Amino acid sequence: MCGIVGYIGNREALPIIVEGLKKLEYRGYDSAGVTFLRDEKIQVIKKKGRIKNLKEQIKSQGYSIHPEAGTADGIHIGMGHTRWATHGEPSDENSHPHLSQDNHICVVHNGIIENYTELRAFLISKGYTFQSQTDTEVVAQLIEYHYLTDCNNDIFSAIQTALLELEGSYALVVLCIEHPDFLIAARKDNPLIIGLGEDEQFVASDIPAVIEHTRNVLIIEDNEIVLVRKDVVNVFTIHGQIVAREPIRIDWDAEAAEKGGFEHFMMKEMFEEPKAVRATVAPRIRNNKIMLEHFPLTKEDILTAERIHIVACGTAYHAGCVGKGVIEKLCRVPVEVDVASEFRYKDPIIDDRSIVIIISQSGETLDTLAAMREAKKRGAKTLSIVNVIGSSIAREADYVLYTAAGPEISVASTKAYVTQLACIYLIAFEMAYIVGRLSEKDYLRYQSELLRVPEHIESTLAKQSEIQRFAASHFNAKSIFFIGRGLDYYLSMEASLKLKEISYIHSEAYPGGELKHGTIALIEKGTLVVCSLTQEVLLEKMISNIAEVKARGAVVLGITNEAHTKAAQACDETFFIPQIDPLLAPLVAVTPCQLFAYYMAVNKGCDVDKPRNLAKSVTVE
Ligand code: G6P
């Protein structure tokens, strides 16, 4: 949801900024721009469309964006932005950076300024005119207004004053023409990090933008302002008190955020699933025990909880749905799953006996973060499952269990999803064991099943050509239905979302038994129905549901294992996954669904890693 990169140092800034933006393109990709100081002027170059359009624009204005050729520009301070439109359509004018009226201040921003209409009206009354429809331009103008009036050319206090007037969320970076020796960055409810180098510093929305240059990273927190000089970085509260902050060391390298020979990040990330699940599970199972360090829940907490809530968005929400099925089955405690944007505003029934599990790959999804804060405010214990180390949700939750997926770049989540599931299983097994509802024998059996999941995913991936072939003959489908019962229904929801996200084919997920109550009206000759058939006790019922859709002309693809011959025979085509306890089947059965979505999208010529209208990290409500 908008990516920000800033640089100050001795090297040429433009190549570093543009390359950093490329790494953040997953955050938004409808337009991009850069700003820098040159000839004592703030220069701005921006362009609607992908970063390649911006690159062309930069080159056409005579600047270099290649490090080896870029010695002549003499640009050592600057910043850039890749946008996901909120206020104002994608256009050159609405692209960031935004320059203030008298050219003193330039701003890049991620987030939404909620009171921008009022601030804009105020500034218009002071003689300001606006070039764009964005909320960000208001920030640039407001800072300049204070800079030139009540703050007497003190840029730091002009920014402080302006920030205190803003309502909403922001990560922003400010360049001031009179201060070629520093950038100022600030954050509230949107991610912001500083990459610490030697005699050079980087500002960014996320680590992939800086990892090529440094592994030492300062995580900026809400209501903080950072003064970034090439040789020193100072963090302040919004009220100006100095904040002491230790950098964290990033333990993955630049290669982890590269495609590594795969055509798309999504494919690379699916192939990383076995490794990611292994890294998530193996270190947490030792001596036949699940070891969740500092796991905060006692038997009493679990048994006296009025219920367990799971809150998340998108793919993480679907992981939460599987979590509901698994936790309820094993722990016999009621679990409610909510989409974060609904949870927050429904006046949730939460008190200090509630347990709230928050799931988020990025750890920055604003709806999820806000829902977690609401739960904490009401006294709930919050446990989070997060991929990005040091992210807001990870820091603010009472407890965090990190998924070890590594950086996930493709907008459509794949490896993060399976590692979220892996964490859910670890938590569910542990809780069931703590409350005495899981026998020693089953506790051990589930551990060994979980440890074998990576090899099952490996053998599933090895058969990708079967899915590829199937997709090749179905990619013209107008509408596809995914059906399943129990955990298979939750799996179908994720399979359907994946297909929609990247191939733009209309698709719906339905519980197998529910289709006939209305939606079956949409089934006609040739309609593709994908059936998840992993829940043994529900197979007979699913076989009837398959017969119902086939009687109306549907073509059925079944995902099952070889032991389920009757279910397989009911389908037109079958993809076999390895045999696994049905409780853990979603962990293995999702990979063919992801492959299916991938190949459908590739066949349709879609931009798999950057689907239209989407962004990976949604930091607006
Ligand atoms: C966006 C992404 C989805 C993701 C969801 C939640 O909508 O496009 O892929 O599942 O946000 O993201 P989170 O980082 O909180 O898991």
pLDDT tens-digit map of 136-145: 999 999 999 9
219 alpha carbon – ligand 1 mean position (Å): 21
Greater confidence (189 vs 590) lies with 590
Among all chains, which residue has been given the structure tokens 């002491």?
Answer: 244
Best mutation site among 617, 619, 620, 621 for ligand 1 pocket (most ligand atoms within 8 Å of CB) = 617
**pLDDT value, residue 254:** 74
**Mean pLDDT, range 148-164, rounded to an integer:** 96
What does the pLDDT read at residue 1? 67
Q: CA angle at residue 18 from 215 to 187, to 5 degrees?
A: 60
Atom 4, ligand 1: residue with shortest CA distance: 314
Classified as helix, coil or strand, 49 is: coil
Query: Residue 620's pLDDT is what?
Result: 73
DSSP secondary structure code for residue 113 in this structure: B
Distance 617 CA to ligand 1 centre (A): 6
Q: What does the alpha-carbon distance between residue 568 and residue 396 come to, in Å, rounded to a whole number?
A: 47
Question: H or E element: which one contains 183?
Answer: strand 183-188
Indicate the SS3 state at residue 450: helix
Region 62-73 average pLDDT: 72
Measure the CA–CA gap between 329 and 105, rounded to whole angstroms.
58
Q: Which two tokens stand for residue 271?
A: 């192939």
Cα–chain center distance at 367: 12
User: Which is it for strands 479-484 and 506-511: parallel, antiparallel or unpaired?
Assistant: parallel
For residue 213, report the distance from its CA to the centre of ligand 1, in Å.
27
Q: Which atom of ligand 1 is nearest to the CA of 388?
A: 14
Ligand 1 binding pocket includes 435 (Cβ within 6 Å): no
User: Whose C-alpha lies nearest to ligand 1, atom 7?
Assistant: 314
Residue 313 CA, closest ligand 1 atom number: 6
* Res. 619: pLDDT tops 80: no
Which residue's alpha carbon is at the smallest distance from atom 1 of ligand 1?
Answer: 616
Quick one: average pLDDT of 491-500?
98
Residue 256 has pLDDT above 80, yes or no: no
Does residue 394 have its Cβ closer than 6 Å to ligand 1? no
Alpha carbon nearest to ligand 1 atom 3, residue:
314
Cβ of 27 closer than 6 Å to ligand 1, yes or no, is: no
2 included as an active-site residue:
yes
> Could you tell me the pLDDT band of residue 92, with boundaries at 50, 70 and 90?
confident
User: Is 612 buried (19+), middle (13-18) or exposed (0-12) by CB count in 10 A?
Assistant: exposed
Sign of CA dihedral 485, 490, 495, 496: positive
Average pLDDT over every residue of 80-88: 85
Cα gap 350→24, rounded to integer Å? 37
DSSP state of 25: G
Neighbours of 89 (CB within 10 A): 11
Evaluate: CB of 339 within 6 angstroms of ligand 1.
no
Comparison of pLDDT for 245 and 89, the residue scoring more = 245
The helix/strand/coil state of 34 is: strand
Ligand 1 centroid distance, CA of 616 (Å): 6
Is residue 545 within 8 Å of residue 512, measured between CB atoms? yes
Of the candidates 290, 231, 191, 255, the residue with the CA atom closest to the CA atom of residue 23? 255
285 lines ligand 1 (CB under 6 A): no
CB count within 10 Å of CB 68 equals 7
For a mutational test of ligand 1's pocket, the pick from 409, 612, 616, i.e. the residue with the most ligand atoms closer than 8 A to its C-beta, is 616
CA contacts within 13 A on the Cβ side of 565: 0
Q: What is the mean pLDDT of residues 551-574?
A: 95
Distance 340 CA to ligand 1 centre (A): 11
Phi first, then psi: give them for residue 399, nearest 5 degrees. -150, 140
Cα-to-centroid distance, 363 and ligand 1 (Å)? 9
339 touches 309 (CB < 8 A): no
CA of 411 to the centre of ligand 1 (A): 8
Of all protein residues, the one whose alpha carbon is nearest to atom 15 of ligand 1 is 360
SS3 291: coil
Measured from the CA of 362, which atom of ligand 1 is nearest? 14
CB of 616 shorter than 6 A to ligand 1: yes
Query: For the chain, what is the total number of helices (H) and then of strands (E)?
Result: 19, 27
- Give the DSSP H/E element, type plus range, for residue 360: strand 355-360
Ligand 1 pocket check for 617: Cβ under 6 Å: yes
DSSP 156-221: HHHHHHHHHH--B-EEEEEEETT-TT-EEEEEEBS--EEEE-SSEEEEESSGGGTTTT-SEEEEP-
pLDDT digits (tens, 9 = 90+) for 348-394: 999 999 999 999 999 999 999 999 999 999 999 999 999 998 899 99
- Evaluate: CB of 619 within 6 angstroms of ligand 1: no
Residue 392, ligand 1, Cβ within 6 A: no
Q: Looking only at Cα atoms, what is the longest distance across the chain?
A: 80
**Annotated catalytic residue: which of 2, 176, 321, 593?**
2
| Strand 242-243 with 233-237, pairing | antiparallel
Closest by Cα among 364, 349, 359 to 315: 359
Ligand 1 centroid to 361 CA: how many Å? 7
Q: What is the pTM of this model?
A: 0.84
Share of the chain above pLDDT 70, in %: 99
391-405: buried (b, 16+ CB within 10 Å) or exposed (e) per residue?
A: bbbbebbbbbbbbbb
In degrees, to the nearest 5, what angle opens at C-alpha 160 toward C-alphas 155 and 162?
A: 95
Residues 577 and 460 sit within 8 Å (Cβ to Cβ): yes
- Cβ atoms of 45 and 117 closer than 8 Å: no
C-alpha span between 210 and 9 (Å, rounded) = 13
**Residue 614 banded pLDDT, cuts 50, 70, 90:** confident
The pair of structure tokens assigned to 105 is 């201040």
pLDDT at residue 284 in the model: 97
Residue of 164, 140, 133, 171 whose CA lies nearest to 42: 140
Torsion-angle region of residue 393: left (phi > 0), alpha (psi -120 to 50) or beta? alpha
Asked if pLDDT for residue 71 goes beyond 60, the answer is: no
Please give the distance, rounded to the nearest whole angstrom, from the Cα atom of residue 368 to the centre of ligand 1.
Answer: 10
Structure-block tokens of residue 568? 């397989």
CA distance 482 to 494: 9
Cα(317) to ligand 1 centroid in Å equals 9
pLDDT value at residue 523:
93
Q: Reply yes or no on whether 324 is catalytic.
A: no
Q: What is the mean pLDDT of the chain?
A: 94
Q: Is 361 in the pocket of ligand 1 (CB under 6 A)?
A: yes
pLDDT value at position 27? 84
Asked whether the predicted pLDDT for residue 25 surpasses 90, the reply is no
Could you check whether the bond before residue 97 is cis, i.e. omega within 30 degrees of 0?
Answer: yes
CA distance 7 to 230: 9
**CA-CA-CA-CA torsion sign (489, 490, 492, 496):** positive
Q: How would residue 67 be classed by pLDDT, with cut points 50, 70 and 90?
A: low
Dihedral angle at the C-alpha atoms of 568, 457, 256, 226, nearest 10 degrees? 80
Residue 314 Cβ inside 6 Å of ligand 1? The answer reads yes
Contacts of 265 (CB under 8 A, 6+ apart): 26, 259, 408, 409, 410, 609
Q: Which of 265, 315, 421, 499 to mutate to test the pocket of ligand 1 (most atoms within 8 A of CB)?
A: 315
The secondary structure of 223-282, three-state, reads CEEEEECCCCEEEEECCCCEECCCCEECCCCHHHHCCCCCCCHHHHHHHCHHHHHHHHHH
Question: Which residue's CA is the closest to the ligand 1 atom numbered 2?
Answer: 616
Most confident of 27-31, 598-602, 612-616: 598-602
CB atoms within 10 A of CB 341: 18
Give the number of other CB atoms < 10 A from CB of residue 87: 16
Euclidean distance between CA atoms 396 and 373, whole angstroms: 8
Q: H helices within 256-407, ranges in order?
A: 265-271, 273-281, 299-304, 314-331, 340-343, 366-377, 392-396
Strand partners, 217: 195, 248
146 and 174 in contact (C-beta within 8 Å)? Answer: no
